[in-house]
Every structure is written in C-alpha cells, then in structure tokens.
Amino acid sequence: MLNEMRFGRLSQESIARFRSLSRPINDNDGLGATELFPRRDDVERSNNGRMSHLQTEQKDFVASDGGTITDLGQREKMLANFMAPKKLVLRVGAQVMLIKNMDEMLVNGSMGKILRFVDPALYGTDYDDVDGSGNAGKPKSERKKTATTKDMFMPVVEFSVPNRGRREALIMTETWKVELPSGEVQVSRTQVWCLFF
C-alpha cells in the first residue's frame, strides 16, 4: 500500500483500506493534528493559512547568517538545508514544533502553543509579563516604562509532554552550522529553534 502511495498509483482496494482507518481524532491536548507535506512550499501554504486565522500579538524572528563561503548561490543552497528558516513569523496561540532537543522530555518534534513573548532576563520573575514593562497586575497609574525592547523578546511555549501533562519553556536561539574538520565554519544560521506548524 505504501509503495502504491509512493508512486501515486493506489488501487481501489488500497484506497478502501486507507479509508477504513478513518476515525475521530482525540485531541484533548489542545493541539491540532500534525500534517505532513512533500514540499516546503506546501508546508508554507498550510502554515500561512493557519497563521492568518490568528489575530494575536506577532513577532518576527530574522536569522543571523554567517560563514566563510562567499558565493551567494552555494551559500543559499547550503542554508536551505537547515530546518531553521531565514524569517520566522510567530504569534501568540500558534502551534509550534521544536526542531532541536532541549532535554529528555522536550525533544525534536515536541509540539506546543505559544503563550506569550518575554524578555529572557525577566522570564520566571514577577516581571514576566506580555509587554516586558514589569507592569503585570499593576494599575495604569503605577506602571513605569523600562528600557526593554521588543527585539529581545522570545517565545514562551506550553508543551504537551507524555505522562506529565503540560510544561512551559522559554525558547531561545540556536546556531546551526556546516563546519570543516579544521573548524572552519562554511555557513551558519542562528535562529529560534521552533517552527510554526
């Protein structure tokens, strides 16, 4: 059946068998079903459709690229092999997937939803609030301005974890690279290590 699917020539018997597997999906973790696509363009189209339904706070993350390769064509071809995109647009409420292991529970492929964006220096403190001003729960008359900039804000994601329910984590940046045995970094990309999904 899978070979038939791979070649795009499914028999009526295989189609009937696949359809017999249809069942309601129990998504009591609040996460939508994972969709698989053969091409990145299809993934982008699906993600953009989901993102357009969210009317929440948005944050754009533009990767920082480096390396010694100066030929732009070769450089772009190598960078295209990284899972991390050049530009990542995230919104509060967006479903995301980790593309790197954090620890034994939060691994490559773990799914979660973005709760908020915070200044990493304030994460987990009484000042960990949506706008980074340290004004959470204070009346407007007592609020103060701070030097914190939105450029420093990173996503806080609530993940669904096996047998433990939910777990919140601050997602930071990571550097992916192609390195020669000599230690020379040919190309590198520093980006947030979750993908909108």
pLDDT in tens, 66-105: 999 999 999 999 999 888 889 988 999 999 999 888 888 8
Can you spell out the DSSP letters for 25-67?
A: ---TTSPPPP---SSHHHHHHHHHHHHHT--S-EEEEE-EEE-
Mean pLDDT of 115-143: 65
The pTM (predicted TM-score) of the whole model is 0.72
Each residue of 48-71: pLDDT tens digit?
888 888 989 889 999 999 999 999
Q: What's the pLDDT at 180?
A: 94
